[in-house]
Amino acid sequence: ESLEPARGLGRRVLRLGEAAAYEADLGAIKPGARAEVRISAFPDAVFSGRVSFIQPTLSGETRTGQVRI
């Protein structure tokens, strides 16, 4: 994933990206929950964030939903 700047409520925020979560795991993921993101370009770094959005639909092929952090 890429790190991209985003704007929100008059302050600058950092969107870490989106992750695919399996259907069975989506019930345990809530907006505002803490999340850790690891990016292959920075193998020793762990980025902390919060779940900001959960896509309300699943991919029919993979049975995963997109989670924005």
Give this prediction's pTM.
Answer: 0.70
Inter-residue long-range contacts of 51-56, CB under 8 Å, 24+ positions, other chains counted: 52/15, 54/26, 54/29
**Tokens read off for 1:** 């994933």
2 has pLDDT over 50: no
pLDDT tens-place string over residues 11-39 = 555 677 888 999 999 999 999 999 988 88
